[in-house]
Amino acid sequence: MSETGRKQAESLGLSLQDTKIDTVYSSPLKRALVTAEAIARYQGLEVQVISALKEMEVGDLEGLSLIELGTNFSQYLVEWRDGEGASKLPGGESLVDLANRCGQLFKV
């Protein structure tokens, strides 16, 4: 997270200091955790880190540029989009997998 991002997270925590928050959850990913910690600090809370809140696993697409995606995966991405993300990304997960993973955390 950049210095600008850290300042923005701190500003967010400060702006929420008068809002009653019972629990702060975060992905273990650093940028999410830094933001959650800034919010929790102003609430006097500990951040509850939950690995299931990590971003979608994109598998073989990780780190590829838009040009590389267009060159190597364009047809697959069109089919994935048209299927509303129901199929798994190569080496990754589907939107359905992501929804199930995260949805299990917040069942009421």
Average pLDDT value for residue range 45-52: 94
Considering the chain, what is the average pLDDT of its residues?
89
Both tokens of residue 27? 């992905």
Q: Quick one: which of 8, 6, 18 has its CA closest to 44?
A: 18
| pLDDT, position 15 | 97
**Whole-number pLDDT of residue 100:** 87
Q: pTM of the predicted model, to two decimals?
A: 0.70
DSSP 8-state symbol, 55: P
Using the Cα atoms of residue 82, residue 51, residue 54 and residue 17 in order, give the sign of their dihedral: positive
The confidence score (pLDDT) of residue 22 equals 96
* 53-90 tens-digit pLDDT: 988 888 888 888 989 888 888 888 888 888 887 888 88
